[in-house]
Amino acid sequence: MQKGFSLIELIIVIAIIGIISTSAVSSYYFFMIKSRINTALYEISSVKPAYEIIVTQSLPATITHSDLNIKPETSLCSISITLPDYTLSSSKVLSCTLKNQSALQNNAEIYLTRTPSGQYQCKTIGIPNYLIPTECK
């Protein structure tokens, strides 16, 4: 009677472990990209209340990052801010151009539009449908 494992049994076990780890890594990568996009949406959504107060009460000629107490660059985004264009049905007001995202197109962007009545809507550019946050669909 033989003690221990044969070489073929060890190779089969190593192959099974390899298959399982491959699927785990690809799942992890998907969730990592999705969480970065959700974080980017949070970064611009978190300044909506301050933006709304400044736009509706102050009626400024320009608006800057310091007005909203945010940085123009984060680890995930290049954030841009513009005043609403009341001549359009909705205009891009808060935008995050994603940085260093190899799974996304160059200049992938998630942004908020604002209607003249003060309603916000999330939209994206260059982000595949399966990665778009539910708030933006």
Sketch the domain layout of the chain as residue ranges.
9-136
Q: Which fold has domain 9-136?
A: Glycoprotein, Type 4 Pilin (3.30.700)
The string of pLDDT tens digits covering residues 127-137 is 989 999 999 98
Entry pTM: 0.81
Burial class (CB in 10 A: 0-12, 13-18, 19+), 123: middle
Token pair 């608006």 is found at 63
Task: Answer positive or negative: Cα dihedral of 79, 84, 85, 90.
Answer: positive
Contacts of 71 (CB under 8 A, 6+ apart): 65, 79
The string of pLDDT tens digits covering residues 7-52 is 898 999 999 999 999 888 888 888 888 999 999 999 999 999 999 9
> What H or E segment, with its residue span, contains residue 39?
helix 7-45
Contacts 24+ apart (CB under 8 A), 119-122: 119/90, 120/48, 120/93, 121/90, 122/41, 122/45
Mean pLDDT, all residues of the chain: 89
